[in-house]
């Protein structure tokens, strides 16, 4: 567990987040979900680097029945993203096409630099 690897006690981690140790213990034991407003702070306190942030949010999303807290606001405010996802779902777009799409996004980012 990341908290333990950093040498943080439940009490110390709770203090960092300004919550009770019992609250952290409940989260760690799967009895409670970490509120979305704490996730960004947890990323900071747990020193999760940028390469691991998506994985962190994937874990949080799985705990929320596939509601991913980093994506939901974006999808909610972008009708075109919702339409694209529904179209991809309806056409059962394979991973290779998704990868091509992501590669094009990365290429566009590099060209804009």
Give residue-wise pLDDT tens across range 51-65: 999 999 999 998 888
Query: Residue 9 region, left (φ>0) first, then alpha (ψ -120 to 50), else beta?
Result: beta
Within-domain flag for 73: no
Residue 112 pLDDT: 73
Domain with residue 60: its CATH number is 1.10.260.40
Q: Do 62 and 12 have their domain in common? A: yes
Q: Is 69 helix (H, G, I), strand (E, B) or coil?
A: coil
Question: Domain count of the chain?
Answer: 2
Q: How far apart are CA 17 and CA 45, in angstroms?
A: 8
For the entire predicted model, the pTM comes to 0.76
Q: Do 12 and 64 have their domain in common? A: yes
Mean pLDDT of the 59-79 span: 92
Per the structure, the complete domain to which residue 7 belongs is given by 1-68
Place of tokens 């972008």: 78
Within-domain flag for 94: yes
Residue 35 pLDDT: 86
Q: Do 1 and 54 have their domain in common? A: yes
């Amino acid at each position: 567990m990341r908290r333990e690897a950093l040498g943080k006690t439940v009490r110390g981690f709770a203090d960092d987040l300004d919550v009770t140790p019992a609250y952290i213990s409940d989260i760690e034991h799967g009895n409670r979900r970490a509120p979305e407003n704490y996730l960004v702070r947890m990323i900071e306190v747990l020193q999760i680097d940028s390469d691991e942030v998506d994985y962190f949010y994937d874990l949080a999303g799985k705990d929320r029945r596939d509601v991913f807290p980093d994506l939901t606001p974006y999808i909610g405010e972008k009708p075109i993203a919702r339409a694209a996802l529904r179209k991809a779902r309806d056409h059962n777009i394979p991973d290779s096409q998704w990868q091509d799409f992501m590669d094009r996004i990365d290429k566009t980012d590099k060209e804009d630099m």
